């Protein structure tokens, strides 16, 4: 499969790059923060959780997702990953030599999307593993619910499709990768303002699908699945039409 080769190449291009450091350091930070949170406030938080009928593990996900704002910031991390995946092609204008090889533009475009999702997934999985480690170290009384954590990971994984698609397209356009990252940042800020105004409007913002993946009370987490798939597909299709017709100068 040529697509697999392209993805392998895209991953190779990040060898000894900043991207690997990024996706390792971020989860390390979240794990440390969650550990401190649980270490200092566990008794208080657990009492509160019990009143709402939550287990320690569920409470930990909630803390990670809303107190630490992981669900809000994840799209920005995806935007940064996308910027780094595309930066290598702009550095030495490698687009022209890459696209002069016998590859279709579509496969190049899709490969970049898959690479962004791949690196983002590593980030998501490492964050979740960090939570499990925190729970085990603190010594939660309940057994770990693999199902709950698996669903948390999958909802985030699908929830980022929309952001990954949008940023894959934007990053392929701008030579200066700061632009799409700033757009992503603004998108996230605006979306979180809307979030506290109206869920009905908020569910149309692709920057919020990773947030809805948290399975929080009052938010329908299936929105992250539908939204991620629909936005991911539509934006990738439209972006690809533009990308295949673009003049590479």
Partner 1 sequence: MNQYIIETNKLSKKFGNFIAVDNINLKVPKGEIYGFLGPNGAGKSTTIRMLLGLVRPTNGNVTIFGKPMKECRLEILKKVGSMVEYPSYYGHLTAYENLDLARRILEVDQKEIDRVLEIVKLTDVKNKAVKKFSLGMKQRLGIAQALLGNPELLILDEPTNGLDPSGIHEIRDLICSLPKTQGITVFVSSHILNEIELIANHVGIMKKGKLIFQGTIDELKGKSRTEIRMDVRPAEAALKQLTTKGYTVYQKNGLLNIQDKGINPAHINRELVLNGYDVYQISSQHDTIEDIFLHLTDEKE
Question: Which of 33, 54, 99, 129 lies at the binding interface for partner 1 (CB under 8 A)?
Answer: 99
In whole angstroms, give the CA distance from residue 77 to residue 82.
9
* 149's tokens: 């954590």
Mask of contacts with partner 1, 16-55, x by CB under 8 A? Answer: xx--------------------------------------
Q: Is 1 in the site for partner 1 (CB under 8 A)?
A: no
From 19-27, 78-86, 95-103, 146-154, span contacting partner 1 (CB under 8 A): 95-103
| Residue 106 · residue 244 · CB < 8 Å | yes
Nearer to partner 1, 98 or 194 (CB): 98
Question: Which of 92, 139, 143, 218 lies at the binding interface for partner 1 (CB under 8 A)?
Answer: 92
Q: Is 11 in the site for partner 1 (CB under 8 A)?
A: no
Quote the least distance from Cβ 227 to partner 1, whole Å: 34
Q: Is 145 in the site for partner 1 (CB under 8 A)?
A: no
User: What are the CA-CA distances from residue 53 to residues 42, 139, 225 (Å)?
Assistant: 16, 19, 25
Residue 232's SS3 state is: helix
Q: Is 242 in the site for partner 1 (CB under 8 A)?
A: no
List all residues 6 or more positions away from 12 whose beta carbon is below 8 Å from its beta carbon: none
Rounded to whole angstroms, the maximal C-alpha distance in the chain is 62
Q: Is 102 in the site for partner 1 (CB under 8 A)?
A: yes
In whole angstroms, give the CA distance from residue 58 to residue 214.
10
User: What are the CA-CA distances from residue 147 to residues 57, 159, 185 (Å)?
Assistant: 11, 18, 32
In whole angstroms, give the CA distance from residue 236 to residue 26.
27
| Residue 26 · residue 77 · CB < 8 Å | yes
Rounded to the nearest angstrom, the gap between the alpha carbon of residue 145 and the centroid of all alpha carbons in its chain is 22
From 2-10, 43-51, 63-71, 124-132, span contacting partner 1 (CB under 8 A): 2-10
Nearer to partner 1, 9 or 145 (CB): 9
Q: Is 241 in the site for partner 1 (CB under 8 A)?
A: no
From 85-93, 120-128, 140-148, 198-206, span contacting partner 1 (CB under 8 A): 85-93
Binding site for partner 1 (CB under 8 A): 2, 5-6, 8-9, 12-13, 15-17, 88, 91-104, 245, 247-249
């Amino acid at each position: 499969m040529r697509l697999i080769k392209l993805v392998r190449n895209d991953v190779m291009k990040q060898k000894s790059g900043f991207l690997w450091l990024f996706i390792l350091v971020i989860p390390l930070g979240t794990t440390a923060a969650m550990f401190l949170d649980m270490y200092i406030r566990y008794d208080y938080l657990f009492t509160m959780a019990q009143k709402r009928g939550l287990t320690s593990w569920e409470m930990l996900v909630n803390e990670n997702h809303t107190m630490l704002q992981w669900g809000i910031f994840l799209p920005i991390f995806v935007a940064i990953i996308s910027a780094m995946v595309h930066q290598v092609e702009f550095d030495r204008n490698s687009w022209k030599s890459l696209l002069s090889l016998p590859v279709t533009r579509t496969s190049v475009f899709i490969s970049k999307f898959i690479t962004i999702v791949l690196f983002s997934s590593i980030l998501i999985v490492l964050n979740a593993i960090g939570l499990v480690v925190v729970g085990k170290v603190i010594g939660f009384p309940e057994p770990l619910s693999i199902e709950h954590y698996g669903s948390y990971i999958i909802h985030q994984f699908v929830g980022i499709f929309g952001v990954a698609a949008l940023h894959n397209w934007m990053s392929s356009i701008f030579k200066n990768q700061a632009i799409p990252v700033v757009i992503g940042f603004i998108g996230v800020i605006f979306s979180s303002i809307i979030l506290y105004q109206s869920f009905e409007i908020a569910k149309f913002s692709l920057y919020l699908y990773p947030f809805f993946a948290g399975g929080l009370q009052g938010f329908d987490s299936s929105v992250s699945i539908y939204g991620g798939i629909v936005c991911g597909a539509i934006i990738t299709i439209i972006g690809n039409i533009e990308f295949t017709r673009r003049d590479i100068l």
